[in-house]
Structure 1
Amino acid sequence: MVGVLSNKISKEDLKPGDHIYSWRHGYVYTHHGIYIGEGEVIHFTKGGSDTGGSLLDSITASSCPAINCLDPCPRCGDQSKMEGVIRSCIDCFLSGDELYLFQYSVSYLFFLGKVRGGTCTLAASDPAEDVLHRAKMLLENGFGEYHLSKNNCEDFAIYCKTSLIVLSRFSVCRGGQASSILAAANAVVSSPLRFLTRTTTFVTMGLTGTVVVGCGVYCVGRVVSDIGVRRDASKIPVEVLISAHQPKT
């Protein structure tokens, strides 16, 4: 049962238009997609053969399906070198990991109860037919260039569910997973946690006060970066988004 402790769901309970995800590298990162029915998922991937870029970019290379190109899936074939928006069977999407359901319209208390980002949002989901329309349009036309913090699989799935997106080229950490990492970094940099090695400050504030301040900074950072409350997020029709991604002539 999906709730605060776990978002795990069985394949039999899935409905077309559901935003699903699985953990990669043992709860290091999540890979997201949109279930479209008939055991198939549309998702956005960097491509398994591409390990260029940053260290974290290389981690997400495992988000591609078809684990072993020597023994390809009889349904999907070898998708190990594919990138961009692709369609896979749910088994290839999961790559042997567990299945989880991303949750929408959660309360602030529930949102903060999920200590790790990338599992829920304050934003509301649109009807399933709209979600499926966006996912299938982006399957045909793409979702731009993959970028771990600015344009990743979670951003793709959330856009399909809500039509909310941040188009500014200066935006960072749109998705909840990346935002939680940034919030954690800000908690250390902006709070007294960075002074723990300074004896006088540590004694004055006390360990409890230091931890409380750090947790507060982390929680605020996660909330203000959620797509459901961000002021720089806009609802963009998929046809307009596709046009924006088309190369200029």
Structure 2
Amino acid sequence: MGFFSNRVERSEIKAGDHIYTYRAVFAYSHHGIYVGGNKVVHFTHFTPDRETSSSTENSSNSYDGMSKMPSCQTYPDCGFRQPKSGVVLSCLDCFLRNGALYSFEYGVTPTFFLAKVRGGTCTTATSDGPGTVIHRAMYLLQNGFGNYDVFQNNCEDFALYCKTGILTVDKLGIGRSGQASSLVGAPLAALLSSPLKLLIPSPVGVATMTAGMYCMSRYATDIGVRTDIVKVAVEDLSVNLGWMDGLEEEFQEKKASSENKNQVIHVD
């Protein structure tokens, strides 16, 4: 990996790595956790239980615990997923779909993070050990990761959780995804900088201001610096639709406990 690109060769990745590839001519990236054995666990918006009138569609869209997507002829377990779950096990080839392989970076400095103009490539947060990461990914493969949401619970959010165990509390904002924060940050930066156009006569100055606001909005939503986050054990996640409902209460309890520890009691 280098400063300008996170592209890697297959021989460079290790079990527990957060990897991604670009789709639709670099329009967006798809993320997953490499678990070894040429396999990747990732999260999709696929809905396996939807009803269809065609028996052929039913056979390809409904799965039991040991079923697989009929797309890979090399690995029998490629496409494995549980019913009503978007978490899927794929071989590396099917995950990449002929795209290039990239490795997501953890524990980067703020300067390095801001220099990576495109979101969804790195975070200042640190990763847990590979054993813990793989355990989370395989547990979620069996138990699900809730409903897919492009802004609050997407494939990058899944990979970030597997690597860090961190979830966000504010369900009205965006999740942990740097890719989603970039989509939000770009129009927000343009909107915030527009009143300043009257004060900055140079187009270059306006562009610089907009770029600066965009970068800062990205940095402010990075899980390594956010305060509305809580670390949750994978065994504590619920597989029902309200799996995130208790996060805010848990966050407030931990925050109150931390504040109580920091208080100094004076005795007269």
Report if TM-score (shorter chain) is over 0.5.
yes
Whether the aligned pair in 2 keeps the contact of 1:47 and 1:80 (CA below 8 Å) is no
- Is 2:230 aligned against 1:234? yes
Specify the alignment match of 1:73 in structure 2. Answer: 73
Task: Give secondary structure in 2 for the equivalent of 1:211.
Answer: helix
Kindly report which structure 2 residues correspond to 1:7-156, keeping only aligned pairs within 5 A, or say none.
7-47=6-46, 72-76=72-76, 79=79, 84-156=86-158
Specify the alignment match of 1:219 in structure 2. Answer: 215
TM-score (ref. length: structure 2):
0.76
- Is 2:173 aligned against 1:208? no
| Unaligned segments of structure 1, at least 5 residues | 51-68
**Aligned length in residues:** 223
Distance 1:128 1:72 in 2: 27
| Change in 2 beyond 3 A, CA 1:48/1:125 | same
Q: How many percent identity over aligned positions?
A: 43
In the TM superposition, what whole-angstrom CA distance separates every residue of 1:165-216 from its partner, at most 9, and x where no partner exists? 1143323243000101111111111103x776xxxx38x5211221121112
| Change in 2 beyond 3 A, CA 1:74/1:189 | same
Task: Give secondary structure in 2 for the equivalent of 1:21.
Answer: strand
TM-score (ref. length: structure 1):
0.81
Distance 1:76 1:116 in 2: 36
Whether the aligned pair in 2 keeps the contact of 1:22 and 1:97 (CA below 8 Å) is yes
- Is 2:6 aligned against 1:4? no
Distance 1:163 1:171 in 2: 19
**1:241, distance to aligned residue in structure 2 (A):** 1.8
Whether the aligned pair in 2 keeps the contact of 1:173 and 1:182 (CA below 8 Å) is no
Task: Give secondary structure in 1 for the equivalent of 2:202.
Answer: helix
**1:70, distance to aligned residue in structure 2 (A):** 8.0
Distance 2:185 2:214 in 1: 5
Task: Give secondary structure in 2 for the equivalent of 1:87.
Answer: strand
| Unaligned segments of structure 2, at least 5 residues | 50-68, 246-268
Please give the root-mean-square deviation of Cα atoms over the aligned residues, in Å.
2.7
Kindly report which structure 2 residues correspond to 1:162-173, keeping only aligned pairs within 5 A, or say none.
162-173=164-175
